[in-house]
A and B are shown apart, each in its own frame.
Chain A
Amino acid sequence: GAVVSQHPSWVICKSGTSVKIECRSLDFQATTMFWYRQFPKQSLMLMATSNEGSKATYEQGVEKDKFLINHASLTLSTLTVTSAHPEDSSFYICSARNRYEAFFGQGTRLTVV
């Protein structure tokens, strides 16, 4: 199957700083990418849908100014957690879609201290 690379796999940052997570589709062009968040022992919740060259569509309850999403090319989407707080600590997973199937990155464990 296709490969989606997510980087970094884990990051620790101080409260108030910003963290950028990258999601790359390595062997296909992804016009659409998705960002999910997973709380401990819970399922994956969709945060936003990112389309190349346009603004992301955020799910209800997700702060667009806190979670900045950029999809500048057909192979790269980034999620920036701005002014991070401890409650932003979570597991973030990206997904890149071709026409019929979505492929997932390995996730990023964010810890804000």
Chain B
Amino acid sequence: AQSVTQLDSHVSVSEGTPVLLRCNYSSSYSPSLFWYVQHPNKGLQLLLKYTSAATLVKGINGFEAEFKKSETSFHLTKPSAHMSDAAEYFCVVTSSGGSYIPTFGRGTSLIVHP
């Protein structure tokens, strides 16, 4: 079985300040982990993914995430928020134990203040 928990339903930051979106996972097998962003009334865009290679993963638009097995975490960070980063962010896990079915977290809404 597999699951993913996004600890915050909303995160509010000021433009230019760091962003931290938290994600913890549970999986009986080696997981693959993904972060997707969804802007209002739009589809999903892949930000980055971890698939058992380097634990620090760099994605698009300055985002990165670090896979920490000991903490079962895959938190998403960005050094400096931009107004265009305001969106919904989803952490997703797949694994052989879950038949590679993508399981979504509940989502975190990122709010960026000017």
* A interface, CB within 8 angstroms of B: 1, 6, 32, 34, 36, 42-46, 49, 93, 95, 97, 99-102, 104-107, 109
Contact = CB atoms under 8 A, between A and B. Distances in A.
Given A1-B46, A43-B104, A102 B90 contact: no
B107 A104 contact: no
Contacts, number: 48
A101 B43 contact: no
Given A34-B102, A95-B102, A101-B94, A107 B32 contact: no
Contact of A104 (B43, B51, B100, B105): B43
Interface in B64-83: none
A72 to B, nearest CB: 21
Contact of A93 (B43, B51, B99, B103): B43
Interface centre among B44, B49, B90, B99 (most CB of A within 10 A): B44
A19 to B, nearest CB: 18
Interface centre among B36, B43, B90 (most CB of A within 10 A): B43
A97 B104 contact: no
Contact of A107 (B44, B99, B102): B44
B106 interface: yes
Please report whether the interface of chain B is mostly helix, strand, loop or mixed according to DSSP: loop
A104 B44 contact: yes
B4 to A, nearest CB: 10
B43 A100 contact: no
Nearest to A109: B41
B105 A43 contact: yes
A18 B102 CA distance: 28
B107 A101 contact: no
B1 interface: no
B14 to A, nearest CB: 23
Contact of A102 (B43, B94, B105): B94
Contacts of B36: 104
B100 A43 contact: no
